[in-house]
């Protein structure tokens, strides 16, 4: 498998997605654009290291969402949703398309669960629960959530997996 490759069709790229441990899901205009498989995990971003702007959105085309996920080496049956970056005027449909693609990746990889640290206060506990996430490992400065599958994937994911 090449170090950097992009999967545009989930049904044709199943083998690549099953083997790739780190990826970036990109959605735009309410649809999945592609999944870029990476050789290294997403660890930290420039806005976290060097806060040069006060805007909350990344530069780039309008209505685009990039979702970074990792499959930890020590826990191969889990995915970690590491980071989500959106551009200005990103629609709800685009954000949901990226999350739905993550569910499909989890189904293809036969993942038991997805974990994340919801740092954005706009992601309320109620909203996360509506999307199928539940609180996990409460900590003082972190809001950790988990979405459990254990073989029961959403219907659309099960058809592709």
> What pLDDT digit, counting tens, does each position of 94-152 carry?
988 999 999 999 999 999 998 888 776 777 778 778 878 788 776 666 788 889 888 77
Give the residue carrying structure tokens 């990746």: 105
The pLDDT value recorded for residue 150 is: 80
Name the band, by pLDDT with cuts 50, 70 and 90, for residue 49. Answer: very low
With b for 16 or more beta-carbon neighbours within 10 A and e for fewer, the 66-75 pattern comes to bbbbbbeeee
Domains (range + CATH), the chain: 5-48+58-160 (3.40.630.30)
Q: Indicate whether 62 pLDDT > 90.
A: no
Q: How far is CA 29 from CA 33, 50, 62, 147, 158, in A?
A: 9, 29, 9, 25, 24
DSSP character string of 45-70: -HHHH------SSBSSSSSEEEEEEE
* Joined tokens for residue 43: 């660890």
Is the pLDDT higher at 54 or at 7?
Answer: 7
Name the band, by pLDDT with cuts 50, 70 and 90, for residue 25. Answer: very high
- The mean predicted confidence, pLDDT, of the chain is 81
Q: What is the mean pLDDT of residues 60-86?
A: 88
Give the residue carrying structure tokens 């530069």: 59
Q: Where are the alpha helices (DSSP H) in 50-124?
A: 92-108
Instruction: Name residue 32's beta-bridge partners.
Output: 27
The pLDDT value recorded for residue 48 is: 53
Closest CA to 24 of 98, 100, 117: 98
* Joined tokens for residue 51: 């806060």
Least confident of 15-29, 66-80, 127-141: 127-141
Q: Phi and psi at residue 39, in whole multiples of 5°?
A: -80, -20
Name the band, by pLDDT with cuts 50, 70 and 90, for residue 46. Answer: low
Task: Show the CA angle centred on residue 37, arms to residues 31 and 39, nearest 5°.
Answer: 155
Q: Indicate whether 61 pLDDT > 70.
A: yes
């Amino acid at each position: 498998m090449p170090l950097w490759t992009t999967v545009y069709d989930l049904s044709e790229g199943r083998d690549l997605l099953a083997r790739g441990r780190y990826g970036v899901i990109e959605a735009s205009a309410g649809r999945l654009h592609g999944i870029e498989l990476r050789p290294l995990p997403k660890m930290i971003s420039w806005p976290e290291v060097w806060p040069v702007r006060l805007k909350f959105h990344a530069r780039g085309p309008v209505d685009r969402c990039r979702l970074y996920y990792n499959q930890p080496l020590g826990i191969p049956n889990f995915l970690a949703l590491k980071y989500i970056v959106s551009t200005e005027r990103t629609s709800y449909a685009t954000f949901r398309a990226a999350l739905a693609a993550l569910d499909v990746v989890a189904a293809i990889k036969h993942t038991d669960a997805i974990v994340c640290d919801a740092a954005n206060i706009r992601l309320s506990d109620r909203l996360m629960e509506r999307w199928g996430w539940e609180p996990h490992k409460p900590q003082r400065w972190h809001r950790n959530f988990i979405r459990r599958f254990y073989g029961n994937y959403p219907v659309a994911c099960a058809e592709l997996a």
